[in-house]
Amino acid sequence: MNGGLQHWLPIYTLAALLHIMSWSMYYSVTRAHFSSAGPNYLAQLAAAETIPIALGIPWARIAEKKGFRIALLPGFLEALFLLLVGFIGAQPTAITLFTVCMASLFWSLAGPQTTAIVISASPTGHTLSSYFIGSTIGWSLGALTAPLTYQLLGYTPTMMLTGLLTAVSYTLYMLYLPTEYPRRRISWQSNCGSLLYVIALSTSILYMTEIIGSIYLSTLYVELGRDNVMYALTLFATGLIGAAIRPLAGKTVDKLGPEKVLQATLLAYAAYVYIYPSLHGLTAAIAWLIPLFPFLDTSLYLYTTRILGEALGTATTSAAYTPVGLTLLTISMLDTSLHTYQITSTLAALTSAFLLVVYEQRAKRVNI
């Protein structure tokens, strides 16, 4: 396996870098471009990005039956619709929301399976965190590049670049596929309880991270005086710090287990999301640099794929974005304030931690 890892893992890390760089550019530019539209439109945008993602669950069946190569094909349509966001999605309208929704729909089919491929090939925290280094650096580079291209070239050329990067990333995923099929599968019908648990756990977690990535990210842009250079540098530094922490996160998960790391990280996030809205200026920028996310995503994906198998586990974890999107859409229609998102995200983090404890205690009793 070490020889195999040396062959495909660097290529997959590069593919992840390009893929997440494209979405980082999308997120940083849209949050800046639509910052004046208000928090409720941003919540609707986040809903459009997340509502279709539950379709990844039945698509995981395709990955199990037909293999990962077929499962990755919708990624090229994801690239096409990201490009179209630049042409017909420059205004805060329903057309923008629809185009974003389609890009997310095709991501929901192919995107989660890229992580499933890595875990199927080598199910360790070390390998997954190494792969996620590409994602983290990609996020950092996208966050650095996009505000500058947005300022120099405008909205449409920046979005065209996101589509191109996405298409290149899926080409690399296809060409250097390390394994055709998932390592583990479960009977979906006989594991409905575990499926519902993973959806509930992931929904709470991803609701919290969506508030950070949508509402709080736009708040950061405002706190930095709408300065595109400072905004870019802050997000770039976030990615670099996260990439540096990734190896430690992987080793920690392998040593302590994903359950313990996930539990501790969720409690840390509960404090973070409650405190962050009260921070301003440079303090808000410094707090944004705190590297909690490498511990969160590595532990979450290894934890859920141990329960449901690689294809279904990654798809179900990502599918939780759908109830998250519906929740955000509902809240946005109530014309609520930043304080509402602050309180609900804090409760989501605490709920996730509670669900994890309850499920693990139940699992121990069953095994006894």
Ramachandran angles phi, psi of 186, nearest 5°? -130, 165
DSSP string, 185-198: ---TGGGHHHHHHH
Q: Could you tell me the residue ranges of all domains in the chain?
A: 2-367
Share of the chain above pLDDT 90, in %: 58
Judge whether residue 143 has pLDDT over 90: no
Judge whether residue 294 has pLDDT over 90: yes
Judge whether residue 236 has pLDDT over 70: yes
CA distance 242 to 294: 6
Instruction: Name the pTM for this structure.
Output: 0.85
User: Which CATH number among 3.40.50.2000, 1.10.10.10, 1.10.3660.10, 1.20.1250.20 corresponds to the domain 2-367?
Assistant: 1.20.1250.20
| Count of alpha carbons within 13 angstroms of residue 204, beta-carbon side | 24
Q: What is the pLDDT of residues 74-120, one digit of tens each?
A: 999 999 999 999 888 778 788 889 999 999 999 999 999 999 999 99
Report the 10 Å Cβ neighbour count for 225. Answer: 9
For the chain, give the mean pLDDT.
89
Q: What is the pLDDT of residues 248-267, one digit of tens each?
A: 999 999 999 999 999 999 99
CA distance 144 to 122: 31
Confidence at 176, pLDDT banded by 50, 70, 90: very high
CA distance 322 to 210: 11
- What sign has the CA pseudo-torsion 302, 307, 312, 315? negative
Whose tokens are 């808000």? That residue is 284
Q: What is the CA radius of gyration of the chain?
A: 19
Averaged over 284-301, what is the pLDDT? 94
DSSP 291: -
Averaged over 267-295, what is the pLDDT? 94
